[in-house]
Structures are given as C-alpha cells and as structure tokens.
C-alpha cells in the first residue's frame, strides 16, 4: 500500500470509525425495532418496514439532502441542539445510521422471525425475565442474524458515498472517508492512488460478503 498517503490513511481511519459507530448505534436501536417488526400484529408494520427499506432504493443524494437540511442550523435537529451538525463527524454518524439501517434491521428481523416465540416462552417458564431470556436464549439462537447484521452494516457504511458527500463534505481527518478520497484523487488525475484504494475496497467488500455467505451456511450455534 505504498501508494497511500497520510491523507488516505486518515480517511481509512475515519471510515472505520464511522462504520463502527454506525453499527453500534444500529444494534442498540435496531434490536428492539427488529424484534417489534418480527412479532407485532400491528397494522402500521408495513409502513415501518417500507420506511426502513427506503435507503435501499432511494438515491443517496435524496437521503443526504433531507438529512443535511434537518441537521443544519435551521433544521429541526440543529435548532433543538442549538448547533449545526452538518459537515461534522457526528452528523455523518447520524446520516449513516439512516443510510445503513435496512442492512442491520433486515437480517435481525428475519433471524428473530426464524427463532419465533417458542424459545422465549420456554425461557419464561424457566423463571427467566424478559431481558434475561433475550440475552441468554434469543440472541445466541439469533447469532447468525447478528453476524450478518454487523458485517453488512459495517461494509455498507464503509462503501457509502453520496450521503457522505452531501452531509459531511470531504473535510480531511473529519469527514473525508475512503470512498470520497477516491473521488478526490480522480478529480486531480491521481489514478494510481485512486486505483490502490479502489482495489482495497473491492477486495474488502468481496471478502466481507464471502464471510457472510460462509457463515450463513456453516456457522454452528453452539455456545456451551
């Protein structure tokens, strides 16, 4: 990776930090939401499901635009916090959470649907409280779903471009991530460096997906 400059390395670091934060936030917010989606009989379920899936089909610029407006000094979030989150790392995390939401929620939801309520009821009958039952029974059985959610959420955030550019700009060390760095290199005809980062992203993404598919096929869910 001799072609990588210090700026490129700092972009890699921003990307990794961003993806990690996003996945952590999504697991905390997404677990109850995915559980609700998996088990509710509510009529608003399809509406919520559609909203969660939106980022898959929406142009990132559309999502980025609205998040930018919301986070700006005159947007609802900006006014509430009395500061502008646009073009900051925090703003980028908020944007990424929306952008990568379906990639975390959907694997969790299908995992919870597959687990069903039966093990939960069994755990209750064995004196486990709801929280206890979730931690000791449901999440281990849904482990594959969690692995898929973490890996896909991480990889998808690493690869985002449009939303980042709209909400974060490309401030070195703060909001410049790998994908925007490629764009910057190409803009100034530094093809060798653009190629190095692109090749890294390509290999990374392929390996991540490969890991997910191998895991889904073979991962045993034994803990003790």
Partner 1 sequence: MSHLLARFDVRFPAFHLDVDVDVPMSGITAIFGPSGSGKTTLLRCLAGLERVPNGFMQFGTDVWQDEKIGLCLPLYKRPIGYVFQEPRLFPHYNVRANLLYGYNRVPSEARRIDIEQVVDILGIDHLLERRIQKLSGGEQQRVAIGRALLTSPKLLLLDEPLASLDIQRKQELLPFIRRLHEELRIPVMYVSHAIAEILQLADRVVLLKEGKIAAAGALNEMFTSLQFRGHFGAHRIGAILDARVAAHETQYGLTQLEFNGQSLFVPLQSVSVGQVMRVHILSSDVSVVIGRTDCPTSVLNILEATIVEIQAIDQSSVDVLLDIGAPLVASITRKSLVILGLKPGQRVLAHIKAIALNEELMA
The site for partner 1 (CB under 8 A) is made up of 118-119, 121-130, 132-133, 136-137, 140-141, 143, 221-224
Report the nearest approach of partner 1 to the CB of residue 137 (Å): 6
Report the nearest approach of partner 1 to the CB of residue 130 (Å): 8
In this structure, the number of other CB atoms found within 10 A of the CB of residue 183 comes to: 14
First to last CA, the chain: 41
Nearer of residues 74 and 218 to partner 1, judged by Cβ = 218
Report the nearest approach of partner 1 to the CB of residue 216 (Å): 16
Nearer of residues 39 and 195 to partner 1, judged by Cβ = 39
Placement of tokens 């909001």 in the chain: 175
Radius of gyration of the chain (CA): 20
Nearer of residues 17 and 39 to partner 1, judged by Cβ = 39
Nearer of residues 188 and 221 to partner 1, judged by Cβ = 221
In this structure, the number of other CB atoms found within 10 A of the CB of residue 57 comes to: 8
Angle, helix 6-39 to helix 191-218, in steps of 10 degrees? 30
Report the nearest approach of partner 1 to the CB of residue 222 (Å): 6
Q: Do residues 3 and 196 touch, judged by C-beta distance below 8 A?
A: yes
């Amino acid at each position: 990776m001799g072609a990588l400059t210090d700026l490129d390395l700092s972009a890699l670091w921003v990307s990794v930090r961003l993806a990690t934060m996003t996945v952590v936030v999504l697991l905390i917010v997404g677990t109850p939401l995915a559980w609700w989606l998996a088990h509710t009989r509510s009529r608003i379920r399809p509406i919520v499901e559609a909203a969660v899936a939106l980022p898959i089909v929406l142009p990132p610029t559309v999502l980025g635009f609205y998040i930018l407006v919301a986070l700006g000094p005159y947007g609802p979030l900006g006014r509430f916090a009395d500061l502008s989150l646009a073009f900051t790392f925090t703003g980028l995390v908020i944007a990424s959470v929306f952008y990568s939401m379906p990639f975390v929620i959907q694997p969790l939801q299908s995992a919870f649907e597959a687990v069903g309520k039966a093990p939960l009821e069994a755990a209750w009958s064995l004196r486990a409280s709801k929280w206890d039952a979730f931690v000791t029974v449901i999440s281990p059985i849904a482990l594959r779903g969690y692995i898929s959610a973490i890996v896909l959420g991480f990889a998808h955030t690493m690869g985002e471009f449009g939303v980042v550019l709209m909400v974060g700009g490309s401030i070195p060390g703060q909001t410049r991530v790998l994908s925007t760095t490629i764009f910057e290199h190409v803009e100034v005809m530094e093809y060798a460096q653009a190629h190095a980062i692109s090749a890294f992203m390509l290999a990374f993404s392929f390996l991540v997906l490969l890991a997910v598919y191998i895991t889904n096929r073979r991962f045993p869910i034994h803990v003790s």
